[in-house]
Structure 1
Amino acid sequence: MRTSAPTIGVLALQGDVREHLHALAGLGVDAIGVRRPAELDRCDGLVIPGGESTTMFKLARTFELFEPLQKRLQDGMPAFGTCAGMIMLADRITGGTADQETLGGLDITVRRNAFGRQVDSFEGDLAFAGLPDPVHAVFIRAPWVEQVGAGVEVLARVEAGEAAGRIVAVRQGPLMATSFHPEVGSDVRIHRLFVDLVLQTQ
């Protein structure tokens, strides 16, 4: 039985890195920023934050992280992608650039910027599988999931408005993803679900 806290990295190329590190540290894990393969090697799990997905792919190539990330995911490392992180974990992308790559792992089709531009960002409460009370979700130029494979569990959907019914949170094995930003605010329950997922794989 493991007695030490797991090490969970946050891909530190772009986005809300500090906020994710703060949320994870508050849950008692060893939280580290990941920019190099050696830092990735220390991780029992990884958070891939929001940002601009095409830029993040290019930076992952620049920092020689792309192939090591793919290998760790293929080997079963738990990962949690938020917003652009969801796009990076998706097997298929709609609305991406012609040369856009994915790390893959989640059998989903994601539409980039599905909710519109920055000015179309919004907030709302969502029922989230495994949590007794709704989560307050912040969507910023967010994607949504257009299609899921047979092995994918839908964790949350938009509940009202023009996008009602759209899938915005999923899980498949050791991989989780949300369209929204759970690191915004003080509610760490979704991060706790990911920490529990990491612990289950140890």
Structure 2
Amino acid sequence: MTTSSNGQRPMTVGVLALQGDFREHREMLERMGHTVREIRKPAQLDALDALIIPGGESTTIARLILSNGFQQPLRDFCASGRPVWGTCAGAILLAGQVDNLDRPGIETMNIQVRRNAFGRQVDSFEADLNVEGLSGPPFRAVFIRAPLIERVFPPARAICVLEDGTIVAARQGNLLATSFHPELTGDSRLHELFLTIGAPAVVTP
């Protein structure tokens, strides 16, 4: 069996490509040796091993999810046990509770998120983070109009906080949410971790 450049089994990873930073995720994953599909139709979800919901404008992506018939297929994908990762706007869309989102997102994670909590684009910043599950030096994270994970409820749990205790990453089984943009760095460790978090599929009797 062939392996990717980091020793992982090559996977077919989808990046939801309705709006936002999908290209940067695709390029990162391709450098890692994985096959990447830009997902624009619900039927494309079926052939994937994992899915990323990228950063962008959360209200726009939420509107496009609804108008393109993605909401239930995305919820079903989250329940399938395959890894799903929401970065920045993607984290907002995965959250069960969000302030000031004028339409429903995917709403599959037991987290409460506040949009644009770190300010406007001019307030973007970087920080060195210790992320549960990552070995090596701290992860240099990029925050751009980032949301804040205000609370996590079981079975979700915080896996990364800023020095002041602000939660910026959470995990719930096969679901991962980060306030920041790992695809904008040259560090692939978080993408590698994401591809290992698959859980047994949820089977309905």
- TM-score of the aligned structures, taking structure 2 as reference length: 0.88
CA RMSD of aligned residues (A): 2.0
**Counterparts of 1:192 and 1:74 in 2: how far apart (Å)?**
21
Q: 1:126 aligns with which of 129, 133, 142?
A: 129
Q: For residues 86 and 137 of structure 1, what CA distance do their matches in structure 2 show? A: 15
2:152 is matched with which residue? 148
Partner of 2:45, secondary structure, is helix
For structure 1, the 5+ residue unaligned runs are none
The number of residue pairs the alignment matches comes to 195
- 1:19-168 aligned at under 5 Å gives the runs 19-94=24-99, 96-97=100-101, 99-132=102-135, 133-159=137-163, 164-168=164-168
Q: Distance in 1 between matches of 2:197 and 2:35?
A: 15
Structure 2 unaligned residues grouped into runs of 5+: 4-8
Moved more, 135-144 or 21-30: 21-30
User: Which has the higher mean CA deviation after the structures are superposed, 81-90 or 122-131?
Assistant: 122-131
Is the contact made by 1:35 and 1:65 (CA closer than 8 Å) also made in structure 2?
A: no
Q: Which runs of 4+ in 1 moved over 6 A?
A: 1-4
TM-score, with structure 1 as normaliser:
0.89
Shift of 1:134: 0.5
1:151-190 to 2 correspondences below 5 Å: 151-159=155-163, 164-190=164-190
Distance in 2 (alpha carbons) for counterparts of 1:90 and 1:135: 23
Is contact 1:48-1:79 (8 Å) kept? yes
Name the CA distance, whole Å, in 2 between partners of 1:2 and 1:86.
32
Query: Match of 1:21, as an amino acid?
Result: R
